Structure 1
Amino acid sequence: MAQCNIFEVWEDYKSSLLGFIKKRITDQDDAKDVLQEVLLKSYQYCSNGKDVMYLKSWLYKVTQNAIIDYYKKNNKRDALDFEIEEDEQERSVLGEASDYIKVLLKLIPEEYAQPLYLYDIEGNDQKKIAEQLQLTLPNTKSRIQRARVKLKEKFLECCVVSFGETGEMISFDIKSECTLLKNERASIENSKK
C-alpha cells in the first residue's frame, strides 16, 4: 500500500476519468463538474494520510460514486437504476481500448497484422483468410496468434494499463510519448463533438 498524493497522479488519470464520466453524463459541463467532485473527494481522502492499494481502480470507484451522487442530487430516477457494475466498467474500458486497435495494427509487421485484421475486425473465418492470403491453415492460425502477442506488446508500450485483482483491465491511458495514439484519441474526441 502506498500513501496517495492525488496531485501527483491527477494529470495521468483525469482524461480517462472524464471519458468514463462523459459516457454516463451527456452534458459536458455537468461531466466536468463531476470530475471536479472526484478530485475534491480524492483529495479529502488522501489528505487524511490514508493509503490506497490500487490507485486507479480506487479512482474509478470514487468516480462511479460521484456519478451516482450526481443522479441522486438531480432527481433523475431512471438514471439511478444504472448501478455501474465491475463487468460494465471492464467492457467500457475494453471498448475504449478497441478504438485504437486499427492504429496499433499499423505498428506490427504486415504479415501478422493482415490476418489478424481479417479475422478479428472483419470477422472472416480462418480458412477463408488462408485461401485469400495463400497460406496454409496452420500458418494462418499461427500468424493470428503471433499478431495478438505483438499487438499486446505494442499496446503495453503505448499505454499505462491498470489491472484488477483478477487480471482484468480496469483502465488505461496513453503514454505521452505515443504520438500515434494521442493523435487518434484527439481524432476520436473531435468526431464525438
Structure 2
Amino acid sequence: MVQDCNIFEIWEEYKSSLYRFILNRLPYEQDAKDLLQEVLLKSYQYCSKGKTVLYLKAWLYKIASNTIIDYYKKAGKHQPLIDDLVEEENSESAIGEASVYIKALLQLLPQEYAIPLAMYDLGDMSQKDIAEKLNLSLVNTKSRIQRGRVKLKERFLECCAVAFDENGEMISFDIKPQCKELQAEKMRLEKLF
C-alpha cells in the first residue's frame, strides 16, 4: 500500500525500533546515534521531494541497513555479511521490537516463574546455579522455567497482535490498546528517544 511520506510522523513512530536495530549491529552507542541521524537525514531528503513510499517500515529498515553497510565500508572495519543484514531486516525488526517488551511482560508473571525464567534466559545462568540460588530442586527449577515460558507466551499473545510469514517468522508486531502495561512501557521507551 502506497503511503504519504510525512517524515515527521514516520520518524516518531519508528525511531526507537530503528535505533535498536542499528545499535545491535554496531560496537558503539554514539556511532549508533550518529547513524540514526543519518537515516533521518536520508529519509527526510527523499520525502522532501514529495515522493510516496510503498512499505514505510521496510523502506526505513533498508535505509538503515545501507547506512550500516556504508559505515563499515568508510571505516574500513570488518563488515557484517550484507546478505545477513538484508535477510534479517524484516524479521529482525519485528523480533527486535517485540523483545524490548519481554522484561515488562516478565513483571506481569507470578514471581515464582518470572525470576527463574529471567535468570535463565536473560541472565544466562545455568539451571543448576538457579536451583542453588533459589533453594529449589533442579527438577522444580526446570519446571518453573518451562511453565514461565508458557505463561510468558500466553501474556505476549494476550497483549500483542502478531503476524507471521509462511515460514513461521514474525513479520509484524503491535501492542493491543487494551494492554495498559505494555502501552505504558512503549510510552516510556519513546521518551528515551
Residue type at the aligned position of 1:37: K
**Structural mapping, 1:1-193, within 5 Å:** 2-7=1-6, 9-22=10-23, 24=26, 26=31, 28-29=33-34, 31-41=36-46, 47=52, 51-52=54-55, 55-69=56-70, 75-78=74-77, 81-84=79-82, 85-86=84-85, 100-120=101-121, 121-125=123-127, 129=131, 132=134, 134=136, 137=139, 140-155=141-156, 166-169=167-170, 178-180=183-185, 182-183=187-188, 185=189
CA apart distance, 1:175: 8.0
CA apart distance, 1:33: 2.8
TM-score by length of 2: 0.59
Aligned residues of 1:161 and 1:173 also touching (Cα < 8 A) = yes
Percent identity among equivalent residues? 44
TM-score by length of 1: 0.59
Cα distance change, pair 145–27 in 1 and its aligned pair in 2 (3 A): closer
Cα distance in structure 2, aligned partners of 1:116 and 1:56: 32
Cα distance in structure 1, aligned partners of 2:118 and 2:146: 12
Moved more, 150-159 or 57-66: 150-159
Moved more, 31-40 or 173-182: 173-182
The number of residue pairs the alignment matches comes to: 179
How big is the alpha-carbon RMSD for the aligned residues of Structure 1 and Structure 2? 4.6
Cα distance change, pair 119–65 in 1 and its aligned pair in 2 (3 A): closer
Cα distance in structure 2, aligned partners of 1:170 and 1:42: 25
Gaps of at least 5 residues in structure 2 are none
Cα distance in structure 2, aligned partners of 1:76 and 1:147: 44
